[in-house]
């Protein structure tokens, strides 16, 4: 019997589209664009997926995305992800994208967004809705974020929201607060990675200084009981990514993952895949693995699926359809 983890209708809320770049597609796009990857084969690239922390992953992640150059590349990347996600029960997907990293290689913002939107529009016709969240890189100069934002804010209707990602520890949110303020005034949603490698203080500042409505990861929130109370009372969704946390050594093994403690604390937990091409599984597989690891029953799986829908930025009518 197919696991309910793979069949329950659900939303994916923490997914970097560049992190869905499977090695086969990376080599196909490298050939299409005349770009050389620093690996000779799919096998050699896959063998490099041995990470010691977030930074060791980011180094490879940014190197591989060098093959993404054109509107068609972004369309094909997102289309491949959306097909795979749909096969695992994802009915709504909010895609992060790192326009800033592509701008550094001269890829125009409009080309990226046009390609991603084309894939999302096709998926919507097949019953999978979604949208785009423009992420700023917190470990890069804020001027780079401002340059991308200057272009993005000309057409805010193409975005669901803005987010903050890349290396967390030592990179505080303060410099990005004015961009998030402007985005919120334009009616965009705000999310931020926090509490992945950084402590609870990073979560507090994402909430207070960026007005983040959802926290991406947030697993270290448990270290601060006052923060846990606040997150539970305010129903702040936490987009947890179990395979990512194991692969990037935020936790030692899946058995050590704080997901059960987070659920027990009454937090609005959702299960997501982060960068599934690199971490060994898509949303349904993450959900199936935690269900098996922690002996979650149908009711708990249904709660996690439900949390993903209620934590999404889908319009109310769409949420009702999915619940
Ligand atoms: N960019 C892609 N994946 C990320 C992660 N897990 N944390 C921070 N930035 C990221
Ligand atoms: Zn992430």
Ligand 1 contact, 216 CB (< 6 A): no
For ligand 1, atom 1: residue with the closest CA: 166
H or E, element range at 240: strand 237-240
Question: Of the residues 52, 57, 135, which should be mutated to test ligand 1's pocket, given the most ligand atoms within 8 Å of the CB?
Answer: 57
Q: Kindly state the tokens that stand for 25.
A: 């597609």
What's the whole-number mean pLDDT along residues 27-49? 97
| Ligand 1: nearest atom to the Cα of 166 | 9
For ligand 1, atom 4: residue with the closest CA: 166
As beta bridge partners, residue 231 has none
Task: Please state which CATH number belongs to domain 4-311.
Answer: 3.20.20.140
Q: Which of 196, 197, 205, 285 is catalytic?
A: 196
Distance from C-alpha of 65 to C-alpha of 173, rounded to nearest angstrom: 25
Q: Which residues contact 206 (CB under 8 A, 6 or more apart)?
A: 164, 173, 192, 193, 194, 212, 215
Measure 2 CA to ligand 1 centroid, in angstroms: 30
Number of Cβ within 10 Å of residue 37's Cβ equals 19
Measure 240 CA to ligand 2 centroid, in angstroms: 9
For ligand 1, atom 6: residue with the closest CA: 274
Binding site residue list = 14, 16, 193, 274-275
Q: What value does the mean pLDDT of the chain take?
A: 97
By percentage, how much of the chain surpasses pLDDT 90? 98
- Do the Cβ atoms of 220 and 255 come closer than 8 Å? no
What's the whole-number mean pLDDT along residues 1-20? 93
Ligand 1 contact, 18 CB (< 6 A): no
Ligand 1 contact, 54 CB (< 6 A): yes
Ligand 1 contact, 197 CB (< 6 A): no
Ligand 1 contact, 275 CB (< 6 A): yes
Q: Kindly state the tokens that stand for 291.
A: 């269900």
Q: Does 8 score more than 90 pLDDT?
A: yes
Distance from C-alpha of 219 to C-alpha of 197, rounded to nearest angstrom: 9
Distance from C-alpha of 126 to C-alpha of 284, rounded to nearest angstrom: 19
For ligand 1, atom 10: residue with the closest CA: 166
| Ligand 1: nearest atom to the Cα of 16 | 2
Tell me the pLDDT tens digit for each residue of 106-165.
999 999 999 999 999 999 999 999 999 999 999 999 999 999 999 999 999 999 999 999
Q: Does 1 score more than 80 pLDDT?
A: no
Give the pLDDT of residue 64: 98
For residue 196, indicate whether it is catalytic: yes
pLDDT band at 2 (very low <50, low <70, confident <90, very high): confident
- Do the Cβ atoms of 21 and 77 come closer than 8 Å? yes
Distance from C-alpha of 214 to C-alpha of 307, rounded to nearest angstrom: 12
Measure 1 CA to ligand 1 centroid, in angstroms: 34
Give the pLDDT of residue 104: 87
Ligand 1 contact, 16 CB (< 6 A): yes
Measure 39 CA to ligand 2 centroid, in angstroms: 24
The angle at the Cα of 249, spanning 243 to 255, to the nearest 5 degrees, equals 60
pLDDT band at 43 (very low <50, low <70, confident <90, very high): very high
Ligand 1 contact, 196 CB (< 6 A): yes
Binding site residue list for Zn(2+) = 14, 16, 193, 274
Measure 318 CA to ligand 1 centroid, in angstroms: 28
Sign of the four-CA dihedral 82, 88, 90, 94: negative
Q: Give the burial string for 166-198 (b: 16+ CB within 10 Å, else e).
A: bbbeebbbebbbebbeebbeeebbbbbbbbbbb
Give the pLDDT of residue 3: 86
Residue of 66, 78, 80, 79 whose CA lies nearest to 33: 66
Give the pLDDT of residue 291: 97
Q: Does 319 score more than 70 pLDDT?
A: yes
- Do the Cβ atoms of 241 and 19 come closer than 8 Å? no
């Amino acid at each position: 019997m197919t696991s309910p983890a793979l069949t329950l209708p659900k939303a994916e809320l923490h997914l970097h589209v560049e992190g869905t770049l499977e090695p086969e597609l990376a080599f196909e796009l490298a050939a299409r664009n005349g770009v050389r990857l620093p690996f000779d084969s799919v096998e050699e690239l896959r063998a490099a997926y041995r990470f010691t922390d977030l930074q060791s992953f980011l180094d490879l992640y940014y190197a591989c995305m060098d093959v993404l150059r054109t509107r068609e590349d972004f369309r094909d990347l997102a289309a491949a992800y959306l097909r795979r996600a749909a096969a695992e029960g994802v009915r709504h997907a909010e895609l992060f994208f790192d326009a800033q990293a592509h701008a550094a290689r001269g890829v125009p913002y409009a080309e990226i967004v046009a390609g991603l939107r084309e894939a999302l529009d096709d998926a919507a016709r097949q019953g999978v809705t979604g949208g785009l969240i423009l992420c700023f890189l917190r470990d890069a100069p804020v001027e780079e974020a401002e340059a991308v934002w200057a272009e993005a804010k000309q057409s805010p209707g193409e975005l669901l929201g803005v987010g903050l990602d890349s290396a967390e520890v030592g990179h505080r949110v303060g410099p990005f607060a004015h961009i998030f303020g402007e985005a919120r005034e334009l009616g965009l949603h705000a999310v931020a990675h926090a509490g992945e490698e950084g402590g609870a203080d990073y979560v507090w500042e994402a909430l207070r200084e960026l007005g983040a409505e959802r926290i991406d990861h947030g697993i270290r929130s448990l270290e601060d009981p006052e923060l846990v109370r606040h997150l539970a009372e305010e129903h702040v969704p936490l987009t947890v990514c179990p395979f990512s946390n194991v692969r990037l050594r935020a936790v030692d093994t899946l058995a050590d993952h704080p997901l059960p403690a987070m659920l027990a604390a009454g937090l609005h937990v959702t299960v997501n895949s982060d960068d599934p091409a690199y971490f060994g599984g898509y949303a349904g597989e993450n959900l199936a693995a935690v269900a098996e690891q922690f002996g979650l029953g149908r009711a708990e799986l249904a709660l996690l699926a439900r949390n993903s829908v209620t934590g999404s930025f889908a319009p109310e009518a769409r949420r009702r359809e999915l619940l």
